[in-house]
């Protein structure tokens, strides 16, 4: 007998989970209030970050924390009014970012990252999305030798422990690779392993079409209507009530609200981010994804134009846009590359769902049968969508997950 499943949330994590469940013989309905890939999955930097074995930690150095407190940086910004409500999350985030604890978290987190390319490759080939992908890594550029030396030391450790490959770049290397780039860069790192995505929304859409070709379907619905029904779950959609034995909550930054209605309390924080696309001036070409590491913004040559992305904004999920980081980043980016006019009518904003221990929440709900969680991927949602979808589908269908996912269990926050 075919089992039915509902996946709530049609970002890259939800779509990937729906694919893997459908492949394993379940009849899956993907439910969201918007089209797949229209929220957080739309606005990322477009990197499948095989090098990202260490999740982004909270700064530990007092001098750097004081500089962040001035609230005038590109890589971080905060809303002063809402800071008191975020203190508890930030304090736990800071505590877990201690070097000793962060090293333990990195070793637990790495198996997801290590399988990110292989699991995306599977879905990219199955969905015939190869034209959206580049396989030539990305660059992290530095303005001071001290920062480059520090980063190279860390990269060497990651190569030895996690198999991450990279090249050290000189200023001359950068000038050769990016002839239209200027600025006082002393050198950089080129990560060899990551893949980049020319249009992240188009990739999620391709995965959605593949899911539908397997017999799955997408319907519009509201996660607020999810509730238990007999031994399973029920939700209202635009096509009427929908029932299933299993329900997956993959709602990204909205997951805390949905799970809260069911009696769970997850310390899910939000890091908002912005992007804008630009036309290059004249015949200028940006060849690579590149991060201006000491300023905190990224430029990416995407299908829609050159995408500029910002760092993290600490604010409530539904607070009005305050794209001050984008304006700051644009001013700096124009000094190193000939950006032309803005191509978007207004800055895009999205929200990254973050846990204080920097690891996602993947697994069975502690107090409900047939309820499963897949959220909290922070900066690596695009990277980890397919591998998360696979391990969760394996768990739901009774297979042994191909990697150990005990560290990501919901029970660490909800016993």
**Secondary structure (3-state) at 249:** strand
Total residues belonging to the chain: 415
User: 312-314 and 4-8: which strand pairing?
Assistant: unpaired
How far apart are alpha carbons 352 and 209 in whole angstroms? 25
For residue 47, give Cα distances in angstroms to 78, 88, 120, 209, 229: 25, 30, 11, 21, 40
Q: Give start-end residues of each CATH 3.30.9.10 domain in the chain.
A: 59-95+137-193+269-354
Q: What is the CATH number of domain 59-95+137-193+269-354?
A: 3.30.9.10
The 10 Å CB-count burial string (b at 16+, else e) for 228-263 is eeeebbbbeeeeeebebbbbbbbbbbbbbebbeeee
Distance between start and end Cα atoms, the chain: 33
CATH for 1-57+97-136+194-268+355-415?
Answer: 3.50.50.60
Q: Residue 238: which of 219, 225, 218 has the closest Cα?
A: 219
- Separation of CA 360 from chain center: 10
Residue range(s) in the chain whose domain bears CATH number 3.50.50.60: 1-57+97-136+194-268+355-415
Task: Give me the tens of pLDDT residue by residue for the chain, a chain 415 residues long.
Answer: 578 999 999 999 999 999 999 999 999 999 999 999 889 899 999 999 999 999 999 988 888 888 888 899 999 999 999 889 899 999 999 999 999 999 999 999 999 999 999 999 999 999 999 999 999 999 999 999 999 999 999 999 999 999 999 999 999 999 999 999 998 899 999 999 999 999 999 999 999 999 999 999 999 999 999 999 988 999 999 999 999 999 999 999 999 999 999 999 999 999 999 999 999 999 999 999 999 999 999 999 999 999 999 999 999 999 999 999 999 999 999 999 999 999 999 999 999 999 999 999 999 999 999 999 999 999 999 999 999 999 999 999 999 999 999 999 999 999 8
Q: Name residue, tokens 């690579």.
A: 288
């Amino acid at each position: 007998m075919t089992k039915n499943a509902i996946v709530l949330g049609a970002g890259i994590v939800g779509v990937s989970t729906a694919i893997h469940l459908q492949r394993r013989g379940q009849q899956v309905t993907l439910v969201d209030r918007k089209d797949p890939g229209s929220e957080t999955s739309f606005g990322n930097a477009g990197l499948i970050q095989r090098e990202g074995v260490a999740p982004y930690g909270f700064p530990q150095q007092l001098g750097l924390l004081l500089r962040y407190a001035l609230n005038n940086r590109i890589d971080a910004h905060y809303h002063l009014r809402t800071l008191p409500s975020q203190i508890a999350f930030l304090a736990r985030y800071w505590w877990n970012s201690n070097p000793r604890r962060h090293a333990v978290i990195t070793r637990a987190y790495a198996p997801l990252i290590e399988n990110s390319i292989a699991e995306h490759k599977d879905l990219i080939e199955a969905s015939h999305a190869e034209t959206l992908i580049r396989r030539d890594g990305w660059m992290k550029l530095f303005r001071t030798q001290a920062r480059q030396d520090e980063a190279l030391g860390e990269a060497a450790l990651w190569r030895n422990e996690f198999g991450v490959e990279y090249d050290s770049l000189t200023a001359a290397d950068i000038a050769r690779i990016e002839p239209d780039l200027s600025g006082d860069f002393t050198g950089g790192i080129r990560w060899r392993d990551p893949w980049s995505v020319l249009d992240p929304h188009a990739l999620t859409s391709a995965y959605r079409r593949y899911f539908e070709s397997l017999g799955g379907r997408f319907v519009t619905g509201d996660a607020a209507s999810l509730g238990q029904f007999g031994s399973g779950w029920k939700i209202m959609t635009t096509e009427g009530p929908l029932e299933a034995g299993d329900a997956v909550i993959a709602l990204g930054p909205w997951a805390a609200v949905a799970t809260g209605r069911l009696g769970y309390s997850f310390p899910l924080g939000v890091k908002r981010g912005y992007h804008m696309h630009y036309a290059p001036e004249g015949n200028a070409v940006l060849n690579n994804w590149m991060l201006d590491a000491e300023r905190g913004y990224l430029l990416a040559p995407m299908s829609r134009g050159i995408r500029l992305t910002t760092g993290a904004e600490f604010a409530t999920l539904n607070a009005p846009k305050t794209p001050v980081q984008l304006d700051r980043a644009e001013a700096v980016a124009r000094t190193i590359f000939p950006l032309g006019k803005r191509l978007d009518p207004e800055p895009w904003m999205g929200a990254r769902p973050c846990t204080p221990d920097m690891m996602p929440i993947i697994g069975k709900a502690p107090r409900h049968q047939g309820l499963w969680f897949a959220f909290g991927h922070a900066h690596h949602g695009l990277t980890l969508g397919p591998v998360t979808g696979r391990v969760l589908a394996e768990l739901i269908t009774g297979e042994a997950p191909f990697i150990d996912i005990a560290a990501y269990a919901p029970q660490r926050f909800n016993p």
